[in-house]
Amino acid sequence: MDATSKIADEKGGTGKVQRRRIHAQIPDDKAMMRAAAELTRDINTARADIYWPDMIGSALVGYAGLAGAILFDNLALALASAVISVFALYRALLFIHEITHLHRDALPGFRTAWNLLVGIPMLTPSLMYESVHTLHHARTKYGTIEDPEYMPLALMKPWSLPAFVLIAALAPIALIVRWGVLAPLGLVIPPLRRFAWERFSSLSINPSFRRRPCDARERNWFLFQQVGASVWAIFLMTTPFWLGWRPLLIAAAITATVAVFNQLRTLVAHLWENDGEAMTVTAQYLDSVNVPSFVAGIWAPVGLRYHALHHLMPSMPYHSLHEAHRRIREHLGEDSTFNEASHGGMIPLVARIARSTMGSRPQD
C-alpha cells in the first residue's frame, strides 16, 4: 500500500470528521500551523498570577488531605481525605510538565519552589523530566526508538495495556529504591551511578531509552535535586521505626494511585499508532489527542486535555490552551485537520487502542 492510499480516508458529512489512519508521512497542514501561530500570539505568556496560586494551592490541599487520611480514625473521613489528596497532588505533580517547557526566565523561582514543595517530597524532582521530555517533542524523534515517551501501544498485544497501567502502582517502591538506595550506593560505586542515571532517572516509558550524561550547565541544578530526593527518601525509610508503618503505607497508597491515574492519562494522550518512523508535524498532531470536555480537565489537568494542541504549540502555557483551541477551531471549522485530533473522552480512546491491539482497525 502506498503512502497516498494509507492516508486517503476523506472527511465526510457536514460538520463531522471521519477519522483517517495515521501515517508518518501525512503532508503537513500549513494552514493549520499558520493559524495556530497567528491566532494565539497574544496569549502566549505564562502568567505568574495563575501558576503560583494554582501550584501552591494544589500542593497544600493535597498534603492536608494526606494528613487527614493518616490521622482520621473515621474510615469515611479518611477515605474522603485520601481522594482529595490524590486529585490535588496529581494536579500539583503535573506542573513538572509545565516546568519542562517554561523559559528559564519566565517565572523566576517557580522551578525551585515546585521542587521544594512537590518534586522532592514526592520523589519526582524535575530533573526526571528536564532534558528528557523535550526529546518527545523533537521533530525527528517523536514516535521513534529515540523517543523516551513513546511506545507503539496500539500495535502491541492486548495484555500490554493493563500491564502498562498497573505497573505504575509500583512507583512508590521504585522511587524510594532509586533515591534512598541506588543514589547513596552510587556515590561509592560509579558503574551503579551511571546505570541509575541512564535507566532510572527519567519519567520515560520506552524501555530502550538510555539517558545521556547531563550538560555541565545543568550539573549543579540536578545535583541539588538528587541530594534533596535522596535525603528525603532515606528519611521516609526511617519513619516506620518511630512513627509505625501506617503513615508510610498510606502515603505510598496515595502516591501509587496518583501514578496509576497519570498512567491512564498517558495511555490516552496519544493514539500510539506509529511503528517507529519519523513523522511529519501534522502526523504527530493527529497521533496525539485533544479532549475538550470539561470533565477531561479532572483526569487530564494543567492543560493536558489539549495534548495534541500542546504538540502543535509546545510553549503555550497551560492556562491559554482552552482559549487557543477555541480560536483555532472556530477559524478552521469542524471539517478541518485541526478538529480531527478531538476525541470524546477516556473510555472511547481506551476502546480504540484496545481494538487496535486485537487487530481491528480503529473506528470513531
pLDDT confidence of residue 19: 56
Please tell me the pTM assigned to this model.
Answer: 0.92
| 345 CB neighbour count, 10 Å cutoff | 14
Q: At what angle do helices 48-71 and 246-267 cross, to 10 degrees?
A: 130
- Alpha carbons 128 and 291: distance in angstroms, whole number: 26
Going 310 to 312 to 316 to 321, the CA torsion angle's sign is negative
Count of helix runs (H) and strand runs (E) in the chain: 18, 0
* Count of positions (residues) in the chain: 364
Residue 111 burial class via C-beta count within 10 angstroms: exposed 0-12, middle 13-18, buried 19 and up: buried
pLDDT confidence of residue 52: 98
pLDDT confidence of residue 11: 38
Contact 317, 302 (CB under 8 A): no
pLDDT confidence of residue 5: 32
User: Which among 344, 346, 306 is positioned nearest to 327, based on CA atoms?
Assistant: 306
- Alpha carbons 150 and 200: distance in angstroms, whole number: 16
Q: What's the Rg (C-alpha) of the chain? A: 21
pLDDT confidence of residue 22: 64
pLDDT confidence of residue 276: 87
- Which single residue is written with the C-alpha cell 531509552? 209
- In a structure prediction context, what are the per-residue pLDDT tens digits for the chain, which is 364 residues long? 333 333 333 333 334 455 556 677 889 999 999 999 999 999 999 999 999 999 999 999 999 999 999 999 999 999 999 999 999 999 999 999 999 999 888 999 999 999 999 999 999 999 999 999 999 999 899 999 999 999 999 999 999 999 999 999 999 999 999 999 999 999 999 999 999 999 999 999 999 999 999 988 899 999 999 999 999 999 999 999 999 999 999 999 999 999 999 999 999 999 999 888 999 999 999 999 999 999 999 999 999 999 999 999 999 999 999 999 999 999 999 899 999 999 999 999 999 999 999 875 444 4
Direct distance between the N- and C-terminal alpha carbons of the chain, in angstroms, rounded to an integer: 22
pLDDT confidence of residue 18: 54
Beta strand segments in the chain, E? none
Coil, strand, or helix at residue 270?
A: strand
